[in-house]
Amino acid sequence: VAILAALAHRDHDGGGQHIDMALLDVQVACLANQAMNYLTTGVSPKRLGNAHPNIVPYQDFPTADGDFILTVGNDGQFRKFAEAAGQSQWADDARFATNQMRVANRAQLIPLIRQVTVFKTTAEWVSLLERIGVPCGPINDLAQVFADPQVKARGLAMALPHVLAGRVPQVASPMRLSKTPVEYRSAPPLLGEHTAQVLQTVLGLGPEKVAVLRAAGVV
């Protein structure tokens, strides 16, 4: 993003600039809401696993055949979820009626939700909640990921010819460029497969010198 900003500035007035980018700075910036939770209160947030520190319910829940993620973003969505779960009284309960109160009473609400979600499969919950506009999604294992129709349609699982294994599976690049598409030229190399090529073409060493290095155990 910083490079794109600098390029935009260059295109505006023709001048270049230096970008000072530190991994530490990026990591601190990526703390996002957790950083603000600390800076505004002076209290270090505690670990919550997959739960959201400022929104409840916004985490994983067990189902009859796995797990799914439920991301209720506002009070209206919580009411819809409560009604779909057959627990409409939750939305009228003073402890859970607003997000502020749900956060405060997280320890009471989450076990109640877990007791309900286990009675439907992941697919049933996703289908039910998507119809009423409550954000959610399945938590897939890798077998389910690569069986997903969209993953298949995008061709994310592919194979390349390999000198020893015939064909080896690979994950396709997510970058889809219309004018300069990604090219898949070769499978992952064998150990040392291109050593001689690199030494000769990059370092300019002759075959004899490469042979000497191999004989000495250097490469």
Sheet strands side by side (includes 67-71)? 58-62, 67-71, 136-138
Is 38:44 a contact under the CB 8 Å cutoff? yes
Of 100, 111, 97, 104, nearest to 59 (Cα)? 111
Q: Give the pLDDT confidence of 156-206 residue by residue, as tens digits.
A: 999 999 988 889 999 999 999 999 999 999 888 888 889 999 999 999 999
Q: Give the pLDDT confidence of 120-163 residue by residue, as tens digits.
A: 999 999 999 999 999 999 999 999 999 999 999 999 999 999 98
Q: What's the domain count of the chain?
A: 3
Its sign, for the CA torsion 22, 24, 25, 30, is: positive
CATH number (domain holding residue 97): 3.30.1540.10
Q: Give the pLDDT confidence of 36-84 residue by residue, as tens digits.
A: 999 999 999 999 999 999 999 999 999 999 999 999 999 999 999 999 9
Question: How far is Cα 24 from Cα 30, in angstroms, rounded to an integer?
Answer: 10
Residues 24 and 73 in one domain: no
Residues 116 and 94 in one domain: yes
Which structural domain, as residue segments, surrounds residue 91?
58-139
Does residue 212 belong to any structural domain of this protein? Answer: no
Its sign, for the CA torsion 53, 57, 63, 66, is: negative
Is 162:187 a contact under the CB 8 Å cutoff? yes
Does residue 24 belong to any structural domain of this protein? Answer: yes
Half-sphere exposure of 16 (CA within 13 A, CB side): 1
Residues 146 and 158 in one domain: yes
Which run of H or E residues covers position 4? helix 2-13
Q: Which residue has the tokens 């070769």?
A: 186
Does residue 201 belong to any structural domain of this protein? Answer: no
Say what the pLDDT of residue 165 is.
84
Of 161, 84, 74, nearest to 124 (Cα)? 84
Residues 117 and 159 in one domain: no
Does residue 202 belong to any structural domain of this protein? Answer: no
pTM of the predicted protein model: 0.76
Q: Give the pLDDT confidence of 80-126 residue by residue, as tens digits.
A: 999 999 999 999 999 999 999 999 999 999 999 999 999 999 999 99
Is 186:193 a contact under the CB 8 Å cutoff? no
Does residue 49 belong to any structural domain of this protein? Answer: no
